[in-house]
Amino acid sequence: MDKQTTHFGYEEVPVEEKAGRVEQVFDSVARRYDIMNDLMSMGVHRFWKRVVMERSGVRRGHTVLDLAGGTGDLTAKFVERVGPTGRVVLADINASMLQVGRDRLMDRGIGAQVEIVQADAQALPFPDNTFDCITIAFGLRNVTDKDAALASMTRVLKPGGRLLILEFSKPVNAVFEKVYDQYSFHVLPRIGKWVANDADSYRYLAESIRMHPDQPTLKAMMENAGLERVEYTNMTGGVVALHRGIKF
């Protein structure tokens, strides 16, 4: 793969095409995204996100960026944590996902407390040293230039601020990995076809997980971006990993 191309799942595509291809995927799945998350993970994604909240260190008065926050489930939890003196920004590059997030936050009665921003993780439109905490859950693998995104996130963190990346990763057990592969490439697209009438998008999502950096590689990328005390926690046998780093 040269500098002019990148991965879209297992396919090699021109760099300038990836963002548009990813946008098409999430335009297609936006309205069924939360239902699919429950079905795909058998509800376990809710546990993974609870761990994010526990490790975030967010408290009243903090400023939080929920990046690639889509339908806003983490955003809603952060609104409760920061209280009326805090600030929560829901950002996503995809307008369809943001619309779903906006609608659901309004339904919960907290839409007015959230700033909603359409933004590219590779070039965040915020001043330096803005946020006490940034989370990106299941979004980094879809970013074309992950190093640029990590640098951008580090830039807008306050000194002492935390970046938490929740992402599908590499299972630590070889037998479990084979079962997981069978599920991802055979069962998942069928669920996508049944629920969202879109097998191809969920096949891409499975492929994008396999192309994402493994746990030690992502840890090194975060350190290269300037974060310190970087650590990761495997969950569900490494199917998902939570990486956390601090800006000093």
Q: Decide: helix, strand or coil at residue 115.
A: strand
For residue 166, which of 11, 10, 41, 24 has the smallest C-alpha distance? 41
Annotation-wise, does 121 bind a ligand?
Answer: yes
Residue showing tokens 């300037």 = 226
Phi, psi of 119 (to 5 degrees): -150, 150
CB 241 within 8 A of CB 215: yes
Annotation-wise, does 92 bind a ligand?
Answer: yes
For 127, the token pair is 């001043």
Please give the Cα distance from 139 to 93 (Å, whole number).
10
Annotation-wise, does 71 bind a ligand?
Answer: yes
Helix H, strand E, coil C: the string for 77-99 is: HHHHHHCCCCEEEEEECCHHHHH
CB 153 within 8 A of CB 163: yes
CA 57 vs. chain centroid, Å, equals 18
Q: How are beta strands 131-137 and 63-67 bridged, if at all?
A: parallel
Please give the Cα distance from 82 to 64 (Å, whole number).
8
C-alpha dihedral sign at 186, 188, 192, 194: positive
Q: Tally the residues of the chain.
A: 248
Annotation-wise, does 206 bind a ligand?
Answer: no
Q: Which residues are annotated as a binding site?
A: 71, 92, 120-121
Q: Which residues are annotated as a binding site for S-adenosyl-L-methionine?
A: 71, 92, 120-121
